[in-house]
Amino acid sequence: MSKESGRLLGTAGTKGCKFGCIYCFTYDPNYERCPLLDCERPRDLITESSKVEIVQPVCDTELFLLDKWQEYLDKLVSIGKVISFATKAILGSSEIAYLKKINELLMSKGAALHICITIVRLHDWQELEPNAPSPKERIKFLRKLWEAGIGTCVAVRPMIPFLDEQELEEIVLRTYRFCYGYLSGPLYMTEKF
């Protein structure tokens, strides 16, 4: 586990995911994964997280693409900390109802669930995220999470050099009613851009 300024960073499953985003940092040969969070030993996890406020359990993969993501979240709730992660995945009504219950349980412990929806761009997004749900679907999911009382934000990250101000404004106009704020950066440039 990695502790960074009040946060406990961890990972689950394998690096990367089926979305195949061309900007995925996990495929960089110099990338070092955060340690797996050992949810099979909740007592150790509680001890490890005692001095942090936020647990980010899936820093380099998609939580909702893991086979047993609900079981994983169930075990993380025992630490009673804010659980925060980003996603491009979308879920159905029964899974959102489950997340609402998780959030309510965390709130009863003085914590919360926080989900950040990644939207790098609205137009021509398939060239960057070939297998991910469309931004329109992600915005719909963002709204459903918000309406379920789950804290949300929008991540416009990585910041790509050809995202113009007009498209950025459009992202904000389409999402500001359903989130607490925005994360952006870092600027992402490779030979492909």
Specify the CATH number of the domain 2-184: 3.20.20.70
Q: Please tell me the number of Cα atoms within 13 Å of 81 on its side-chain side.
A: 24
Cis peptide before 161 (omega within 30 of 0): no
Could you read off the pLDDT of 75-95 as tens digits, one per residue? 888 889 999 999 999 999 999
Backbone angles phi, psi at 151, to 5 degrees: -65, 130
- Each residue of 21-75: pLDDT tens digit? 888 888 788 888 887 776 666 677 777 788 889 989 888 889 999 888 998 899 8
Angle between the N-to-C axes of helices 69-77 and 93-108, in degrees from 0 to 180, rounded to the nearest 10: 10
Domain ranges of the chain: 2-184
**What average pLDDT does range 126-134 have in this prediction?**
94
What is the pTM (predicted TM-score) of this model?
0.89
Contacts of 190 by beta carbon, 8 Å cutoff, 6+ apart: 23
